[in-house]
Amino acid sequence: MKERPCLLFYCQHSLGIGHLIRSLTLAEALSSQFRVVFLNGGRMPQSIAFPQGIEWIDLPPLGMDANNQLISHGENLGVVQNKRLRLGKILNVFESVKPDVVFIEMFPFGRKKFAFELLPLLKHVQSSRPKATVICSLRDILVNSRRDQQHHDDRAAWLVERYFDAVLFHSDPGLFRLEDSFRPLRPLRTPVYYTGFVVPQKHRNIAIHIKSSEIPDNGIVVSAGGGTVGGRLLRSAISAYPMIQEHRPIPMTVVAGPFMSDEEMGKLVHRSHQHPNLRVLRSVPNLTSILSRSQASISQCGYNTAMDILYTGTKALFVPYSQNRENEQLRRAKALSKRGILMYLPESSLSARTLADATLKLLDFTPTSHNLDLDGTYQTCAHVFNLYRWTHSGGYCEHVA
pLDDT range class, residue 398, cuts 50, 70, 90: very low
Mean pLDDT of 86-100: 97
Quick: pLDDT tens for 117-131.
999 999 999 999 999
Q: Is residue 197 within 8 Å of residue 373, measured between CB atoms?
A: yes
Same-domain check for residues 164 and 225: no
Indicate whether 369 belongs to any domain. no
Q: Are both 18 and 88 inside the same structural domain? A: yes
pLDDT one-digit tens code per residue, 240-269: 999 999 999 999 999 999 889 899 999 999
Mean pLDDT over the full length of the chain: 90
The total domain count for the chain is 2
Report the predicted TM-score, pTM, of the whole model to 2 decimal places: 0.90
For residue 358, give the H/E element and its range. helix 352-363
User: Tens digit of pLDDT for each residue in 34-72?
Assistant: 999 999 999 888 767 778 889 999 999 998 877 778 888
* Residue 397 counted as domain residue: no
Task: Calculate what percentage of the chain has a pLDDT beyond 90.
Answer: 74
Percentage of the chain modeled with pLDDT above 70: 93
The C-alpha atoms of residue 13 and residue 335 are separated, in whole angstroms, by 25
Q: pLDDT by residue (tens digit) across 156-189?
A: 999 999 999 999 999 999 999 999 999 999 999 9
The residues, ordered by sequence, that sit 6+ positions from 231 with a Cβ below 8 Å of its Cβ are 224, 260, 264
Instruction: Indicate whether 227 and 187 sit together in one domain.
Output: no
- Backbone dihedral region for residue 21 (phi beyond 0: left; psi -120 to 50: alpha; all else: beta): alpha
Q: Is the pLDDT of residue 330 over 50?
A: yes
Mean pLDDT value of segment 323-330: 84
CATH of the domain at 226: 3.40.50.2000
Evaluate if residue 397 carries a pLDDT over 50.
no
Task: Answer positive or negative: Cα dihedral of 207, 217, 363, 280.
Answer: negative
Residue 205 lies in a domain: no
Q: How far apart are CA 312 and CA 292, in angstroms?
A: 5
pLDDT at 1 over 90: no
Read out DSSP for 110-170? Answer: S-GGGHHHHHHHHHHHHHSSSPPEEEEEE-S------TTHHHHHHHHHHHHHHH-SEEEE-
Lowest average pLDDT, out of 97-101, 192-196, 302-306, goes to 302-306
Residue 55 lies in a domain: yes
Residues constituting the chain: 401
pLDDT digits (tens, 9 = 90+) for 192-234: 999 999 997 543 433 323 334 455 567 999 999 888 889 999 9
Same domain, 233 and 352: yes
User: Residue 174's pLDDT is what?
Assistant: 96
State how far the Cα of 139 lies from the Cα of 109, in Å rounded to an integer.
10
Q: Which domain holds residue 270?
A: 212-363
Map residue 274 onto helix, strand or coil: coil
pLDDT of residue 131: 94
According to the model, what pLDDT value does residue 288 have? 85
- Does one domain contain both 357 and 378? no
Do 280 and 384 lie in a common domain?
no
Residue 278 sits in the same domain as residue 338:
yes
> CA distances (Å), 269 to each of 121, 196, 263, 266, in order?
45, 38, 10, 5
